[in-house]
Amino acid sequence: MKKSILFLMCLSIGLSTYSQEKQVKKNKSKKIEIDSVQWKKEHYVINRDSAYADPRIGIKKLMGGNKRFIEGRTIKPRQDMNTIKSLENGQEPFATIVGCSDSRVPNEMIFDQGLGDLFIIRTAGQVSAAASYGSMEFAVLKLKTKLIVVLGHTECGAVAAAVERPEDVPGHIVTLINEIKPAVAKCAHLPGNHVNNAVRQNVVDQVNNLRDLDPILHKKYLNGEILIVGAVYDIHTGKVEFLPETLNNLPQPKKNTK
């Protein structure tokens, strides 16, 4: 009887050891696969340097990061001490995000990006003024960032206020509402959710305003040196939709004939 019990104990320990060794080997195998071509393809990973050099690739990189986010497969890139040390002497963000201040729209999280990847400007309703324009120009001229994304989001409170037009708006909040009112008027006749229709139109209008903004953004956009596009984040699903109307007929970079 004692021999049987001893045998079963030894067998149990042996199986447990074998299982642990098998798991270790499996984990090692996984580590080898990470960053492989197949792994990058499955996780929509796009080379960061390529995204910085080409704004069209930058758009794809943001799309890939958002896919990881909504699929629950975030990789949280460039969020370690080594990255912090590598950025001590400067930054090269591959995209500027002009977004809303809403706490439900954390840009690095929804695009699954890391330190030094995104240059972010946030105001309620992503309404821009002189300081915001200067920040965008700084990113383009000093940091050489070639992609600007105007990012709105569904159920935006600033846009809702412009739709509802409350009386006696306190303080400077009225300036936000007044900036968004033209977008509200343009889509007032459309069926569906009035706020979300206006959110979309507001993004389109802001994209067009930035494309026409002198003296820096307008010229660089026309020359194809930078791209300015729009997107809307859905707070219900986590998905970012890049608006087709802002992706059509984008300027091509002019070839250097010298």
Architecture of the domain defined by 36-246: 3-Layer(aba) Sandwich (3.40)
> Cβ(242)–Cβ(231) under 8 Å?
yes
pLDDT of residue 17: 54
pLDDT of residue 257: 46
Q: Which residues contact 197 (CB under 8 A, 6 or more apart)?
A: 187, 190
pLDDT of residue 165: 85
What is the pTM for the complete model shown?
A: 0.85
pLDDT of residue 29: 46
Return the domain boundaries, the chain: 1-33, 36-246
**In this structure, which long-range contacts are made by residues 203-207, counting pairs with CB atoms below 8 Å and at least 24 apart in sequence?**
203/126, 203/150, 203/151, 203/152, 203/230, 203/231, 203/232, 203/243, 203/246, 204/230, 204/243, 204/245, 204/246, 206/98, 206/126, 206/127, 206/128, 206/150, 206/230, 207/150, 207/246
- Of the CA atoms within 13 Å of residue 240, those in its CB half-sphere come to 30
Burial 241-257 (b: 16+ CB within 10 A, else e): ebbeebeeeeeeeeeee
User: Which 8-state DSSP code applies to residue 145?
Assistant: -
pLDDT of residue 156: 97
What kind and span of H or E run contains 229? strand 227-233
Segment-wise mean pLDDT, segments of 10 residues, the chain, 258 residues: 55 54 50 74 92 97 97 95 95 98 97 98 96 98 98 97 87 92 95 97 98 97 98 98 97 72
Residue listed under structure tokens 């696969």: 33
Task: Compute the distance between CA of residue 75 and CA of residue 73 in angstroms, rounded to an integer.
Answer: 6
Q: Is the peptide bond before 77 cis (omega within 30 degrees of 0)?
A: no
> Cβ(221)–Cβ(211) under 8 Å?
yes
> Cβ(160)–Cβ(194) under 8 Å?
no
